[in-house]
Structure 1
């Protein structure tokens, strides 16, 4: 009985870690691909901020700004992945993540107005 409880705990822990890692990967890809304008905006603001801080902190302005922006993005992704994992949302349950499932996008066959006349010819070939 104790061995079963330990096995279930291990299984739930592995599922939790797997879901967290999948969410982290998915949110990172979404930030880089879909959020590309946001990344460009952050880089622009970061470079302007580094130029402004250069007069105050001549040695470490660029390092401070770049580290802050990267740290903020990583923290945002990890916190979002943790929240989604703790809420029990699994990435396979999200409909707009069909690319994550490894399934191709199912296309619907178009039905034309002339289909009753031509569909029978297509079925016979």
Structure 2
């Protein structure tokens, strides 16, 4: 009985860790694409200059090498960041700016209609 309980606890803990890791990977990937757009533009610019520079040394695969290394570095950064946050025990439900992720209502947005000053009770 105790062995069965211990295995189910370990299994549920590992599933929770996997879920947390996948959520962090998704969240950091979206944040990299949306918030890090200027960083992506800078990386593309530097990558273009590197590809032009390496074209004289590696004529066939310079663009492939530069593009693959930039994409690989971004994926590696997202996965390592997600792994660090997961193993430190930071759960996405605990982060206050991730209310969009777990479907919580946005407390700052309240609907105000045109007739509201006449019909609504604004003394909340």
Shorter-chain TM-score bucket reads: 0.7 to 0.9
Larger relative helix fraction? 1
The TM-score normalised by the length of structure 2 is: 0.86
The TM-score normalised by the length of structure 1 is: 0.85
Q: Counterpart of 2:72? A: 71
| Partner SS, residue 37 of structure 1 | helix
User: Whole-Å Cα distance in 2 between the matches of residues 52 and 99 of structure 1?
Assistant: 43
Segments of 4+ in structure 1 off by > 6 A? Answer: none
| Partner SS, residue 104 of structure 2 | coil
User: Whole-Å Cα distance in 2 between the matches of residues 108 and 37 of structure 1?
Assistant: 28
User: Whole-Å Cα distance in 1 between the matches of residues 11 and 82 of structure 2?
Assistant: 20
- Paired residues in the alignment total 114
- 1 or 2 for the larger relative contact order (CA 8 Å, sep ≥6)? 2
Runs of 5+ consecutive residues of structure 1 not aligned to the other structure:
110-117
Q: Counterpart of 2:113? A: none
| Partner SS, residue 57 of structure 1 | coil
Runs of 5+ consecutive residues of structure 2 not aligned to the other structure:
111-116
Q: Counterpart of 1:114? A: none
